[in-house]
Structure 1
Amino acid sequence: MTPKRMMLAFMALGVLLPLAACGTAESTSSGFRKNYVVARSALEGGEYGQANRQYARLMSSAGPFLPRIQLEYAHSLLRAGNYAQAAQMAEAMSMASDGAASAAALAVAATARHELGLEALAEGKTQAGKMHLEHAQASMAQVLSTHPELDPLGSLAGRQASIAVRLKAL
C-alpha cells in the first residue's frame, strides 16, 4: 500500500467509524453516508472531477464531519491539479483548526504550494516559484516537527528534501 493510499485509508477510517455509529433509520444519515462513499471511492479511484463534485455537495450537509470533508475535498483538488484552490482551502482549514487536523491540512497546503512552485519555475517565473517553494518548505517543516506521525513512511520528508534542493539551486 502506497503512503498516499495509507493516509487516505486512515482518513476514511476516521470518518467512517463515526458515520457507522449513526442510526441507519435516518434517511439523511444514510444518504450522507452513501454520498460520502461515492466521493471517497472516486478520490481513491483517481476520478477527481467526480470526487470534487461529490465533496462540494457533501459540505452543506456534513455537520460535525465538515472539517474531514473539507480536508478530503482539498486533497481531491490537489490530486486533480487544482493547486491554487487546494492550497487556499487547506491553508484556511489549517488556521481554523488545531492539532493533527491543522497539521494534516497544512501538509495538503504545503504539497499544493510545492506543485505551484514547480509550475511557476517551469513557466520561467522564478520569483513566484521561489515564493511558493519557501512557503511549502516552512509549512512542511512545521508539520514534520509538530506531527511526525503524519509521515510514517517519509514521503513528506522526501518532499521537503526535494524542495530544499530546488531552493538551493535558485
Structure 2
Amino acid sequence: MPGGQSGFQAKYAVARDALEKGQYDRAKRQYLTLIQEAGPLAQRLELEYAHAELRSGNYAQAANVAGSLARAQSGQARAAALAVQGTAQHELGLQLLAKGETAAGKQQLSAAQAALSDVLKTDTDLDPIGSMAGRLASIQVRLKSL
C-alpha cells in the first residue's frame, strides 16, 4: 500500500469519521481514493463506499456497487453486500412508487425482497435486532398491494 500502513489507516479514519458524521460527499471521495490503493481490502472499502451512497440518498448507485460486490463474493461478505443492495433497492422502489412509476418501483421492491430474503436465509447474524426482517415484511406487504 503506497504511503505506508499508517498513512492508509489515517486516510481510512478520515473516511470512516466523515461517514459517521454524515459528511457523505467527503466520505465518498475518501473511499474512492482509498479503494485505488487498498489491495486486498478494496472490496471492504467498496462496501463502505456503497453504504455512503445509500446514506446520502444515491440509492441507484448504492444498489449498483453493492450488487457488483455481492456477485463477486461469498459468505458473510456477500450477505453484507446484499443487505446494502436490498436496502438501497427498497428505498429506490419507494421513490419510484411515489413518482407514480409503478412498474419500475415494483421491480426494485421485488429485487430488494430477493436480496434481503437471501441475507436472512444465509446470515441471520447480520440482523441481530430484526430491522432487516422488518424491512422485508414491509416490502412484502407493499408488493401484495401493487
Q: Find the counterpart in structure 2 of residue 162 from structure 1.
A: 138
Q: Find the counterpart in structure 1 of residue 120 from structure 2.
A: 144
Q: Give, as a single letter, the amino acid of the residue that structure 2 aligns with 1:88.
A: N
Q: How many residues align structurally?
A: 145
Q: Does 1:110 align with 2:91?
A: no
Q: Work out the CA distance in 2 between the residues paired with 1:84 and 1:31.
A: 32
Q: Find the counterpart in structure 2 of residue 11 from structure 1.
A: none
Q: Work out the CA distance in 2 between the residues paired with 1:51 and 1:124.
A: 32
Q: Find the counterpart in structure 1 of residue 15 from structure 2.
A: 39
User: Shift of the alpha carbon at 1:89?
Assistant: 0.5
Q: Work out the CA distance in 1 between the residues paired with 2:7 and 2:57.
A: 29
Q: Does 1:60 align with 2:36?
A: yes
Over the aligned positions, Cα root-mean-square deviation in angstroms equals 1.0
Offset from partner CA, 1:130-150 (integer Å, 9 cap, x none): 000001001100000000110
Q: Does 1:121 align with 2:117?
A: no
Q: Find the counterpart in structure 1 of residue 77 from structure 2.
A: 101
User: Shift of the alpha carbon at 1:29?
Assistant: 1.2
Q: Give, as a single letter, the amino acid of the residue that structure 2 aligns with 1:84.
A: A
Q: Work out the CA distance in 2 between the residues paired with 1:85 and 1:73.
A: 10
Q: Work out the CA distance in 2 between the residues paired with 1:47 and 1:155.
A: 24
Q: Find the counterpart in structure 2 of residue 89 from structure 1.
A: 65
Q: Give, as a single letter, the amino acid of the residue that structure 1 aligns with 2:24.
A: Y
Identical residues among aligned pairs (%): 57
Task: Could you tell me which runs of 5 or more consecutive residues in structure 2 were left unpaired when the two chains were aligned.
Answer: none
User: Shift of the alpha carbon at 1:91?
Assistant: 0.4
Offset from partner CA, 1:92-137 (integer Å, 9 cap, x none): 0001010000000010000010011001000000000000000100
Q: Work out the CA distance in 2 between the residues paired with 1:27 and 1:141.
A: 41
Q: Scaled by the length of structure 1, what TM-score is found?
A: 0.83
User: Shift of the alpha carbon at 1:27?
Assistant: 4.3
User: Shift of the alpha carbon at 1:162?
Assistant: 0.9
Q: Find the counterpart in structure 2 of residue 28 from structure 1.
A: 4
Q: Work out the CA distance in 2 between the residues paired with 1:30 and 1:44.
A: 21
User: Shift of the alpha carbon at 1:165?
Assistant: 1.3
1:152 partner SS? coil
Q: Find the counterpart in structure 2 of residue 16 from structure 1.
A: none
User: Shift of the alpha carbon at 1:31?
Assistant: 1.2
Q: Give, as a single letter, the amino acid of the residue that structure 1 aligns with 2:125.
A: E
